[in-house]
Amino acid sequence: MRRASALLAAAASAAAVVLLSPAPAAAQASDAVRAQADALFREGQQLLAAGELPAACAKLEESERLDPKIGRLLNVAYCHEKQGRIASAWHEYDQAAAMAIQAHQAEREKFARAHAAALAKQLAFLRLGLGTPPEGTQVSIDDKPLARDQWGIPFAVDPGQHTVTVQAPGYKTRTVPATVTGTGEMRVEVGALEKEAPAPAPAAPATAPLPAAAAAPGAPGSEAAAPRAEAPAASGGPRTLAYVVGGAGIVALGVGVGFGAYALSRKNDADAHCPGRQCDATGLSLVSEAKTAATVSTIGLAAGVVGIGAGLWLLMRSSTSSPSAAPASVAPFVGADRAGVALEGAW
């Protein structure tokens, strides 16, 4: 009896090996790629037999990616089943059954369907509560896109930790963790997305105002269109100029008085050296100094009177002066035989 059971187990194992082995090479992959895929497949089976499931599944997945075949896909599904990745294995068995139907491989179809049916009883499902998602919403599970037709229905997932990510243009991305244990359906409420705050408008660069275009002479509205040019104010204004001219006149008047007093003093000193109008050398020198001082005094007095008068006139005129009048200027001068104040401007 034991010998018969051993023979049956050996026969079942042999059948499984035959069913899981890849079919003869097809024409899709090149010889080099097929050789690489076959090598990875053999390494994956050896690791699977040794119980090193993560490394075995990685080798088998890469082998199936390089050269997709029913046998390779069945091995990937079997490895995932051993890992406890129930949903992945169920989906891969179902896919392998569909491929076997197309290839008319009834035994492999039967094998895949039997395993898929057994795993279906152990499946865990997620259902997302998205509310009314805005336009352009994208949903992904563990960074893998989820088709829109699966948003409102439960879909199979492997047990363990998962991350649901929902994003839409103009809204903040929402990430919701989900821990799946056991079997049955689990609902994950994502909720309505929150709108992003509008970005602040960039400050407009400061630009100088463009000059208004000058209207052609005689054109209608040319007088209103042409900007009125403001005449630059004279330095200090007319009132300041009046004070300057008047002040210069006062200074000149003071100079005249001073030199007049000096001339009288020199004349009095000269009289002592000029008896009977006959002057000695000292008297002649004193007479000359007196004459020079008298000349300067006369010029200074005249300039002072003129300056004070001009200052008063400017002061009175400043209240009614035209803003377009050209600025006036004043400059005192002293020469060898004259002194005064030069006043220039348009009146």
pTM for the structure as a whole: 0.48
- Check residues 144 and 342 and name the one with the higher pLDDT: 144
- Residue type at 280 in one-letter notation: D
- Check residues 81 and 132 and name the one with the higher pLDDT: 81
Handedness of CA 295, 297, 300, 305 (dihedral sign): negative
* Among 103, 171, 109, 111, residue whose Cα is nearest residue 137: 171
Cα 73 from Cα 231, distance rounded (Å): 93
What are the structure tokens assigned to 243, written together? 């004070």
CB proximity list for 87: less than 8 A, separation 6 or greater: 123, 124, 156, 157, 158
Provide the pLDDT for residue 85: 94
Lowest-pLDDT range of 167-171, 185-189, 228-232, 257-261: 228-232
Provide the pLDDT for residue 237: 67
> What's the pLDDT tens digit per position in 232-268?
444 456 778 777 767 787 887 787 778 778 778 877 7
Provide the pLDDT for residue 101: 95
Provide the pLDDT for residue 309: 78
Q: Is the pLDDT of residue 33 over 80?
A: yes
